């Protein structure tokens, strides 16, 4: 069994450091999961910034 699904528009707070100042900004992530095999092993692919 090979399955693939995406979870988009997931809003979270992300710490952003700017000039030694840490600010919490609201961002949107798109998570992509891959399910391979019958051992129910999940792989999480995160896109590069």
Q: Report the chain (49 residues): mean pLDDT per 10 consecutive residues.
A: 60 74 72 55 53
DSSP type of residue 1: -
Compute, in degrees rounded to 10, the torsion defined by CA atoms 45, 10, 8, 46.
Answer: -10
Q: Is the pTM of this model over 0.75?
A: no
Query: What is the pLDDT at residue 16?
Result: 76
Asked if 11 and 47 count as a contact pair (C-beta separation under 8 A), the reply is no
Query: What is the pLDDT at residue 40?
Result: 47
Query: What is the pLDDT at residue 26?
Result: 73
Query: What is the pLDDT at residue 44?
Result: 52
Asked if 30 and 44 count as a contact pair (C-beta separation under 8 A), the reply is no
Q: How far apart are CA 20 and CA 12, in angstroms?
A: 22
Query: What is the pLDDT at residue 34?
Result: 61
Tokens of 42: 């999940």
């Amino acid at each position: 069994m090979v399955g693939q699904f995406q979870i988009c528009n997931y809003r979270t707070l992300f710490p952003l450091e700017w000039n030694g100042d840490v600010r919490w900004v609201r961002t949107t992530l798109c998570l992509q999961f891959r399910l391979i095999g019958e051992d129910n092993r999940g792989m999480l692919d995160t896109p590069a910034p």
